[in-house]
Amino acid sequence: EVQLVESGGGLVQPGGSLRLSCAASGFTFSSYAMHWVRQAPGKGLEYVSAISSNGGSTYYANSVKGRFTISRDNSKNTLYLQMGSLRAEDMAVYYCARGSLSGDAFDIWGQGTMVTVSS
Amino acid sequence: DIQMTQSPSSLSASVGDRVTITCQASQDISNYLNWYQQKPGKAPKLLIYDASNLETGVPSRFSGSGSGTDFTFTISSLQPEDIATYYCQQYDNLPPTFGQGTKLEIK
């Protein structure tokens, strides 16, 4: 079964750091670009970051640039999001998503992990 | 960033009804438009890609059309399990951007 499972969410103080993980299974992880998308409570979907299949290229939304770092370990079939200088507006459910091979859709999503930023 | 505007923001319909949601892009995005379904407490699910292509395993009552700036998503006969919020998403320019969502309810 093709599956993505996020972990690492939790409560963090403003200014703090957190690392999210996304474990992939059921497909050749190293062949796919991967993405992070977040959803604040009761709000819509917001794109966060992307990484190419080999990890050589990354992209960040302006809202997280300089504070978040996306990475992957293809030997462990795992995607990461290192989040720093966290703000209240970063509080959201964070989803990892697989980029389709044609490159234009998010065809598999994880169940999400909640990040709460509060003192 | 390309702005995606969905209409309506919420919709109430009866089982068996034909339901239509529109999505307008702030600039020409060709056919780089996807539709997702998100049920309460769940992750989004890809339904339609490249404006009109049905994702594998998605029921044929779902369809999409359009190109350029104006797109339409249709459920031909609404079923109770279709209760969800639906999002359009463009992938023509980075960053990918989503519409604000259309919440679909059963009358």
CB contact under 8 A, B49 and A107: yes
Note if the bond before B96 is cis, omega within 30 degrees.
no
DSSP state of A88: G
For chain B, strand residue ranges (E) read: 4-7, 10-13, 19-25, 33-38, 45-49, 53-54, 62-67, 70-75, 84-90, 97-98, 102-106
Beta bridge partners of B28: none
Find where tokens 């079923």 sit: B79
DSSP state of B26: S
What secondary structure does DSSP assign to A58-77, as a single string? EEE-TTTTTTEEEEEETTTT
- The reported pLDDT for the residue numbered A102 is 81
Local structure of residue A30 (DSSP, 8 states): G
- Using left for φ > 0, alpha for ψ between -120 and 50, and beta otherwise, residue B38 falls in beta
* pLDDT at site B24: 98
Closest CA–CA distance from residue B77 to any residue of chain A (Å): 24
| Beta-bridge mates of residue B19 | B75
Give the pLDDT of residue A104: 81
- The neighbour count for residue A7, using CB atoms within 10 Å, is 13
Cα distance between residue A116 and residue A18, in whole Å: 10
pLDDT band, very low/low/confident/very high, at A103 (cuts 50, 70, 90):
confident
User: Would you say residue A101 has pLDDT above 90?
Assistant: no
In this complex, is the C-beta atom of A27 within 8 Å of any C-beta atom belonging to chain B? no
Chain mean position to CA B16: 18
In this complex, which of A47, A102, A111 lies closest to B95 when CB atoms are compared?
A47
Q: For residue range B23-78, list pLDDT tens digits in order.
A: 999 999 999 999 999 999 999 999 999 999 999 999 999 999 999 999 999 999 99
The predicted pLDDT at position B12 comes to 97
| CB proximity under 8 Å: A 53-72 to B | 59, 61-62
